[in-house]
Structure 1
Amino acid sequence: DPQPQVVGELRVDEDRVVSLRALLDAVASSEGRFVALGDAGFVALTDEVRGKLDALARAQSVASKGRLGAALLPAVDQWTTGLEVEWSGKLAKRRTEALPDVEVPKTLRADLRDYQREGFQFLARRTTDGTGAILADDMGLGKTVQAIALLLERGPQGPALVVMPTSVQSNWRDELGRFAPSLTVKDADAEAGPNDVVLVSYGMLVADEAALAARSWHTLVFDEAHALKNPTTRRWAAARGMNADATVLLTGTPVENHVGELHALFDVIAPGLLGSRAAFQRAFGIPIARGQRDVAAALRQMVRPLLLRRTKAEVLGELPPKTEMQRTIVPSTEERAFYEAVRRRAQERLVALRSREKGRGQAHIEILSEIMRLRRAAIDPRLVGGPDAPPGGKLAMLVRLVSDLRAEGHRALVFSQFLEVLDLAKEALALEGVVCRRLDGSLNAAERAAEVEAFQGGSGDVFLLSLRAGGVGMNLTGADYVIHLDPWWNPAVEDQATDRAHRIGQERPVTVVRMVTEGTIEEKVLALHGEKRRLYADLVGEADGKGTLDFDQLASLLA
């Protein structure tokens, strides 16, 4: 079916009529209440009508040949409320007919919560009509079991391909066996038919792209789909090149860095729905980056039919409370002097970079390198100056905190972005008799699964995890404390890591501790968190991003 097109006219008076397309073009190129209509003069719009037409103009500007994807009809319906609108027969029927409920498969061996049933209905309807969907529930709300219910419902019609990070492959295999034993898990090179599910990692997706793309999949699921946020990568191109009847993305963070990532995700499930990258950037990316909240609201309305997000606060009143606190470490005189020397060196480097003719791209990379040195010095001087540098107060604070927690029967997850920090932490904790388990990117899938199973089984007082490898897709409810040794640029990444413990299955209150060294770059990174959360609350109803820092913003961190 051809995509719907919004057409209409504005009657200024008996003799003057302006087409809706001309009106939308005029609205897009003007500001304020009065809109110039060429020979037809000016028209004065109320704020409400102006807002609706502006949203419609932006949607039309990214549409192919002015035709909007049928999935955007709910947004158009909202934007035209109060206007005299006539819908064509087929669209009128689609707009008013109630979609039938899809029965949760009886073969699902799980009792879905009410919101999970709603999530299954959403996925089933969107995949049935062929538009695809993004399930963006908060971390820990059971996106996997909702997707498994969908795989059971669609299984008889053909095979499914599920793509995920290596770290969660064993979890998917276990949960398919537990919740959907009627489905058969197959290897990537095996023949697959109805009720078969093939599990592959993102690395395998790229490596075996040609073979996987040559096959026909009835259902395609991407878990931790924020891995597809960058449309310039081979991973994104491989994902977009798969041949599937319907595609579903699962991610707790649909936007991590900037609104263009949302476009990249939608281009995987519904190519072209939000227009070209360039048109989308003009209509939405630039205005939203400039803080235009009305544009963010218009985009949110556009994507709502295909993106479902629920937060834990909304649907899990029975989940134990989560308390967040900050522990500020006051550095010793020696530690402060060491940090200040590293900071001055970085500033001198910055002055040299500003005076050079070399392009800003290379300068950006070099200043990032200096900032990473400074971040390491803020954690522990030995990470920069070697064993002869003064020890940092942060690890001493960690040892005291963990000792107190052990005495009270608590267990903790300890996250850092630096593997060397985990090394120092393990060494310091071992001296106090603390048993640590560890997971980082050097472990293969089987080794990661073994570490998780051991910790969940009660082995170890502390689980040391790298932020990236240990921050997604795992259930670590054996801990009731989460300690972040160093703040990351992106608050969403930290939130994901925290939700390894604060999720369904957790029966105890969870306490989150962020350790920050006073008077260092760490305080400035935390200040960025609040600023960047506000923008993305406008887009998906929850803070999900950090924004991209330019050269001058990075330079300000060295002040």
Structure 2
Amino acid sequence: MTDKTKEQPVVSVMPDQALVLEWETVKGTASPDQIQYLNKISQTAEARKGDWLYDLGFKQFPLDFSASLDYFLRFSRCFVRELLKTAELETLRQDAIIGLPPGLVNDFISACPLMAGSEYVTAGMLEELWHGFNGTFSRDIKNFKGRVSDYFREKNPDLHPAGRVFFHLVENKNSDLPFAFMATYSAGMGANGKPKHLPLKHAIETHDDDALLTLLSTVYKAAEQSRIVADLIESGELFHPLAWDGDEAFAFLKEIPDYEACGVLCRIPDWWKQTASTPSVTISLGDKKPSLAGLDAILDFKVSVGLGHLELSRQEVEAILEETQGLAFIKNKWVAVDPEKLRQALKACDSIEDLAAPGMTLGTAMRARLVPEKILGREADGQVEVCVSNGTWLTSVLEKMTHPEQIDPVVPDKGFKAALRPYQSKGVNWLNFLASYGFGACLADDMGLGKTVQILAWLSTFPSNQKRPATLLVVPASLISNWQSEINRFLPGLKTCVAHPGFSSSAPQPDKTPKNKEFKLTKTQLNTLDLVITSYTLVKKYDWLAKYSWHCLILDEAQAIKNPGTQQTRAVKALPAAHRIVMTGTPVENRLSDLWSLFDFLNPGLLGNKTEFSNFAKTLKDNPNGYARLRQMIFPYILRRLKTDKTVIKDLPDKVEMKVFADLSPKQVVLYKKAVKDLKQAIETSEGIQRKGLVLSFLLRFKQLCNHPDQLTGSGDFKAAHSGKFMRLGSICETVYEKRERVLVFTQFKEMTEPLRVFLETIFHHPGLVLHGSVPVAKRKKLIQTFQDNAYCPFMVLSLKAGGVGLNLTRANHVVHFDRWWNPAVENQATDRAFRIGQTKNVLVHKFVTRGTIEEKIDLMISEKQALADQVVTSSAEGLITEMDDQDLLDLFQLSLPE
């Protein structure tokens, strides 16, 4: 931290749905008082372990919390509030079961903020969290020696548990005084397990003065704040049933939060609980299909005013304003009327109709939902709620966007060589459906679920006899090899060109030019292609990319454009294309700051401009329900399936193995070529046993070099940029960290374990573990326990031999083979440290291969000739390499990269 930054507590949701309190550095400075409160939070989290959220729910802190911590604190406080409202809690004590209020879980699901692990927040998770609160209270109160009121006082002296007095307000139909009031008290538990109510006047007859004073203590507290209650006590009317008019009932209803804060329980009509006095303006649009597609589509619409659950015409609103304020009986229902807010609602209707006079576009309607002040003006902020309801046509479209199983299927071309799993077929259908309506799509499936295959399957559906511009795929340079491999495997007929000087392509190639000239394709050449692949870095360098109108623009690892201010992001967004798709395995809802830039690329204008979205983000602290509006807007354009989804997991094998191609860094290329030259010179003057030993020593040297040049030279600080494998490992682990998953990284070399640990801690921002042959056996058990514990330990680096036997590390659902043993049996034994009986997660295995090197050639030998798998570079087959003739040997080690 610096003098301009501070530590802020945030909550991350783990894949097993456990909550972990973490600390992140943010801008700003903390005052001494704030530091004191933050220290209390930290101490509570440490002391209470799994119960820290329950405990913090009783506290009040004069701090602005992160959205994630505020969200879960509000949920905990809901439990505390229900606990405080529970009658006869002293009698029930540890047997009390606090039920979930109706609709609470759904409200919290829709209002979940963007945070690490928000995708794991489900109805079942929140219900289990509430159940845990019940268990904590039961355990606490069982061990607490005092009264329940003392327990609350110890938690927070400002909290007052419910007493035994209830205030009741009911409708009194067929009367000039339409409401009835009565005060009762609970006289123990009835046979049905609920408090038994008696009119309060009975307490005068059955209680002595001291007992009556104790019974009415909560009422006297309320009287200190309420003139209504004070008058009821003074007049003695508190002890008798009363009939009230609408004004009296309205005055009483508005004070209910004050009564309940003092411990008086209130039983009131449901219509008051379910509706607020804030009127709403509803824009209903999209009954008919528009002539155009996309966010610029002009939709039919109508505007109405809502009050409670009633929809009112302008004439009805004007009539209400002339006659009523407070409670009004309209269309056989009671509603609360605030005349000023109703007038604002009418003005909002006028503003919306004026704005939509040229036609209401889908984009305008969506922005009205997200940023209502854009339409209503800031003076109406908080006075009127804007709602967007969908007509018949728009409802059907959005329903299919959020439920891909309802979309009509498309069939991949016969040249597509993969058999799609059911969820992958749905993904292809979804991509096609959104493209048909002109919407940008975010394919955000979990790592390992086959996003690349789905994209290739979709590309294969384009009719071959139809002329169209080429598609542009932009990826990190480190992923180009992976895409080439997948295309050759699944869609070899795709006419592809890699617009990158370091990669070969299947043609056409640009004309031969001097090396100092940039790589360039003409429009004529582009029109003969299906797909062009380039890197993010080259988009800003190759200006010819922005002069061609692409059929589709696809971004892989789209988090590369999360920062809207960078030259790279601006260059990518400037590329013209009829359709836009982004791919990411990182949850897009983790960071609010990244979301706008992503959608500004996909569907420009959907989230407003940057200033409008920034203003909306500022309102979220005071209006957390804004997250519900945001999710409602973005989720139709995002398809994210998790490996844990019930609809997905049945389609997956228990282990998903994938090759990860890494490219040599410039430094590695220079050293690799020098090593080949040294090998050539050395074998010319050696023979027999000496030659065998020489070849094996060079084999080791090349493997070290492919890991990191500093491993070979024995010097340097293992900078990530000097190793293609380090860069790919970092990319993979960034996604693992965003999902708060765990990974095992295997290497053959003990000397690599520490550099890998240091590097990974910069990615995970948490300490990790190292296990190799020099770690004492006694310490190994402690390391395993640390990794398997609930506290987040994101990674363990293991030497292959030390980590391959006798370990149980099922917390990990990723396994990385950083360097290859080239013996599947040995690698599988290591993988099985994570994949064991009892593992509840699918394990994703990443096998690193350095492109163009001996690693790739031997991996190809293993893949093509599985019979040799137990012979290559093992004790039984070292001769396979050492006994090659000189030319075959040099061909094996030769660097195979395009010049």
Q: Output the TM-score relative to the length of structure 1.
A: 0.50
Contact 1:439/1:470 (CA < 8 Å) preserved in 2? no
Contact 2:439/2:579 (CA < 8 Å) preserved in 1? yes
1:4 aligns with 2:299: yes
User: Which residue identity lines up with residue 627 of structure 2 in the other structure?
Assistant: A
CA spacing shift, 1:321–1:169, aligned 2, 3 Å = closer
1:442 aligns with 2:722: yes
Q: Secondary structure at the match of 2:462?
A: helix
Q: Secondary structure at the match of 1:8?
A: strand
| In 1, Cα distance between equivalents of 2:369 and 2:589 | 26
Q: Secondary structure at the match of 1:102?
A: coil
Aligned to 2:442: 134
| In 1, Cα distance between equivalents of 2:566 and 2:764 | 22
Aligned to 2:567: 234
User: Which residue identity lines up with residue 200 of structure 1 in the other structure?
Assistant: T
User: Which residue identity lines up with residue 631 of structure 2 in the other structure?
Assistant: R
Deviations along 1:402-425, whole A, 9 cap, x unmatched? xxxxxxxxxxxxxxxxx99x9699
Deviations along 1:379-413, whole A, 9 cap, x unmatched? xxxxxxxxxxxxxxxxxxxxxxxxxxxxxxxxxxx
| In 2, Cα distance between equivalents of 1:502 and 1:35 | 63
| In 2, Cα distance between equivalents of 1:162 and 1:57 | 29
Aligned to 2:552: 219
CA spacing shift, 1:12–1:251, aligned 2, 3 Å = same
User: Which residue identity lines up with residue 442 of structure 1 in the other structure?
Assistant: H
Aligned to 1:111: 419
Aligned to 1:70: none
Identity value in percent? 29
Equivalent of 2:618 in 286, 289, 292: 286
Aligned to 1:275: 608
1:298 aligns with 2:629: yes
User: Which residue identity lines up with residue 427 of structure 2 in the other structure?
Assistant: G
Aligned to 2:532: 198
1:60 aligns with 2:369: yes
Equivalent of 1:38 in 311, 325, 340: 340
1:16 aligns with 2:347: no
Computing the radius of gyration over CA atoms, which structure comes out larger, 1 or 2?
2
Contact 1:217/1:243 (CA < 8 Å) preserved in 2? yes
Deviations along 1:198-233, whole A, 9 cap, x unmatched? 11011111111x210101211111000000101101
What is the CA-CA distance between 1:471 and the residue it aligns to?
4.1
User: Which residue identity lines up with residue 428 of structure 2 in the other structure?
Assistant: F
CA spacing shift, 1:59–1:488, aligned 2, 3 Å = farther
CA spacing shift, 1:183–1:490, aligned 2, 3 Å = farther
Equivalent positions of 1:80-119 (< 5 A) are 80=389, 91=394, 99-119=407-427
Aligned to 2:452: 144
Contact 1:136/1:307 (CA < 8 Å) preserved in 2? yes
CA spacing shift, 1:65–1:99, aligned 2, 3 Å = farther
Deviations along 1:90-125, whole A, 9 cap, x unmatched? 657857997532222322111111111111111111
Equivalent positions of 1:25-424 (< 5 A) are 36-38=338-340, 40=342, 59-62=368-371, 80=389, 91=394, 99-154=407-462, 156=464, 157-188=468-499, 189-190=520-521, 191-193=525-527, 196-208=530-542, 210-255=543-588, 258-283=591-616, 285-288=617-620, 290=621, 293-314=624-645, 315-317=648-650, 318-320=652-654
Q: Secondary structure at the match of 2:611?
A: helix
User: Which residue identity lines up with residue 369 of structure 2 in the other structure?
Assistant: Q
Contact 1:213/1:242 (CA < 8 Å) preserved in 2? yes
Aligned to 1:329: none
| In 1, Cα distance between equivalents of 2:571 and 2:552 | 16
| In 1, Cα distance between equivalents of 2:558 and 2:437 | 21
Aligned to 1:517: none
| In 1, Cα distance between equivalents of 2:301 and 2:544 | 41
| In 2, Cα distance between equivalents of 1:92 and 1:101 | 20
CA spacing shift, 1:321–1:196, aligned 2, 3 Å = closer
Contact 1:120/1:147 (CA < 8 Å) preserved in 2? yes
What is the CA-CA distance between 1:132 and the residue it aligns to?
1.5
User: Which residue identity lines up with residue 278 of structure 1 in the other structure?
Assistant: T
Which structure's relative contact order is higher, taking Cα pairs within 8 Å and 6+ residues apart?
1
Deviations along 1:495-542, whole A, 9 cap, x unmatched? 9x9876489x99754649xxxxxxxxxxxxxxxxxxxxxxxxxxxxxx
CA spacing shift, 1:63–1:254, aligned 2, 3 Å = farther
Contact 2:442/2:639 (CA < 8 Å) preserved in 1? yes
CA spacing shift, 1:185–1:262, aligned 2, 3 Å = same
| In 2, Cα distance between equivalents of 1:141 and 1:180 | 18
| In 1, Cα distance between equivalents of 2:302 and 2:816 | 49
CA spacing shift, 1:488–1:149, aligned 2, 3 Å = same
Deviations along 1:275-296, whole A, 9 cap, x unmatched? 111212222x2344x3965322
| In 1, Cα distance between equivalents of 2:743 and 2:451 | 22
Q: Which runs of 5+ in 1 are unaligned?
A: 19-32, 44-55, 68-77, 323-418, 429-437, 452-463, 513-559
Q: C-alpha root-mean-square deviation of aligned residues, in Å? A: 4.8
Q: Secondary structure at the match of 1:486?
A: helix
